[in-house]
């Protein structure tokens, strides 16, 4: 059974703070990594699809990096806003297999 | 544009009763389709995956089954529900390459009493 971990489990930050969290996955047989944002009462929405070691993706104030050799990805949020409050999920896709989701990091941004 | 529908939104069923959850996708052809479950306090667990009509892959042994009678229709079923089947069920689709991002439906909250 593949293990995908995310840390921290939850965090609270003040509006304007920058924050980051981690997704750890097996370093062998890597094919892709996805990041999703899941807001309360909504469906998960894709943020990034990452496939190459060293990938850096950016969407507005949110960015992500990928290290497939050591098996981790970081998600960064710059200048957090209350609307960033959500659970952030990573999903690891090994070659020839199906997605394994991490448990998520629950972010609360306090105004 | 593509849309994905799930129904019902919420469901309360007694133990031992049957289950049928439906998911349909509009605006795309031959999508990959997925059923996920989020049990209380846990992450998303992939239950079933389909690349085409009648083609179902099961990820975990369980009390549930899935069917894809039409290209854009995915059904999750059970003949007899267990208490442990309670959870939040999400359907998702992606373009035909598995690496592509997934688009999720609104989900069904199932409570088995």
Predicted confidence at residue A77, as pLDDT, reads: 98
Tens of pLDDT, residue by residue over B60-102, are 777 899 999 999 999 999 999 999 999 999 999 999 677 889 9
Q: What count of Cα atoms within 13 Å lies in the side-chain half-sphere of residue A50?
A: 29
Reported confidence tier of residue B19, pLDDT bands at 50, 70, 90: very high
Tens digit of each residue's pLDDT (9 = 90 or more) over A42-52: 999 999 999 98
pLDDT given for residue A85 in this prediction: 97
Which residues of A fall within a CB distance of 8 Å from B90? 43-44
User: What is the mean predicted confidence (pLDDT) over A17-27?
Assistant: 96
**Mean residue pLDDT across chain B:** 92
> In whole angstroms, what is the distance from residue A110 CA to residue A107 CA?
10
B8 and chain A: CB distance < 8 Å anywhere?
no
CB contact under 8 A, A101 and B44: yes
Which pLDDT band, with edges at 50, 70 and 90, does B36 fall under? very high
As a whole number of angstroms, the distance between CA B89 and CA A100 comes to: 16
Q: Touching check for A43 and chain B: CB below 8 Å?
A: yes
């Amino acid at each position: 059974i593949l293990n995908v971990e995310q840390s921290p489990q939850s965090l609270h930050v003040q509006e304007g703070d920058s924050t980051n969290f981690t997704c750890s996955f097996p370093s062998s047989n890597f094919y892709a990594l996805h990041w999703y944002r899941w807001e309360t009462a909504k469906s998960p929405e894709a943020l990034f699809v990452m496939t190459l070691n060293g990938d850096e993706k950016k969407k507005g104030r949110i960015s992500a990096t990928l290290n497939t050799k050591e098996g981790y990805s970081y998600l960064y949020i710059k200048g957090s806003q209350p609307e960033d409050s959500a659970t952030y999920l990573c999903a690891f896709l090994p070659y020839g297999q199906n997605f394994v989701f991490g448990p998520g990091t629950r972010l609360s941004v306090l105004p | 544009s593509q849309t994905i529908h799930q129904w019902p939104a919420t469901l309360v069923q007694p133990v031992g009763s049957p289950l049928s959850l439906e998911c349909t996708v509009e605006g795309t052809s031959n999508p990959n389709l997925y059923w996920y479950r989020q049990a209380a306090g846990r992450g998303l667990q992939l239950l079933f995956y389909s690349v085409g009509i009648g083609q179902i892959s099961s990820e975990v042994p369980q009390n549930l089954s899935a069917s894809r009678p039409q290209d854009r229709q995915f059904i999750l079923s059970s003949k007899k529900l267990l208490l442990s089947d309670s959870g939040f069920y999400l359907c998702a689709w992606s373009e035909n390459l598995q690496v592509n991002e997934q688009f999720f439906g609104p989900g069904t909250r199932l409570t088995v009493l």
